[in-house]
Amino acid sequence: MAIVLYIDADACPVKDEVYRVAQRYGLQTNVVANAFIHIPAHPKISRFVVEAGPDVADDWIAERVQVGDVVITNDIPLAERVLQSGGAAIAPNGRTFTVDSIGAAIAQRAIMEQLRSTGAMTGGPKPFDRTDRSRFLQALDETINREMRKRR
């Protein structure tokens, strides 16, 4: 069974990079968002527009991801669900989520939510830059190759 790439696309800054890598490997790519997003006209790139609402796109992806599939997302709870399904999850900045690291990511997210709920100024994430894009491309390539090796 072939690897499928899923993009949690609503705020994903690396969609074009995913399209190029997917084309190089000949992989199906599913772009999931709660609003229309332009995608390249290509037989292996599909757009899925889901209803608006919290976690609707995440639920759609989590219900379909299978062992060895790769999901591009900034959403830590979705990454956890992907890992539980045997898939791989990568953030657009190149951070790879693993079974060993997801617990710490969930805990850090909870701490930051708690701080924000008390009115603390947390500053938000740093601006997305070239280094993030490069790190993402490397992580995506490594992840795809690792999942392909598992299938041989």
pLDDT tens figures, 36-49: 999 999 999 999 99
Q: What does pTM read for this prediction?
A: 0.86
Domains of the chain in sequence order: 4-150 (3.40.50)
Question: Measured over all CA atoms, what is the biggest interatomic distance in the chain, rounded to whole angstroms?
Answer: 51
CB 106 within 8 A of CB 148: no
d(CA 71, CA 39): 17
pLDDT given for residue 57 in this prediction: 95
pLDDT tens figures, 73-123: 999 899 999 999 999 999 999 999 987 776 666 656 555 666 667 776 666
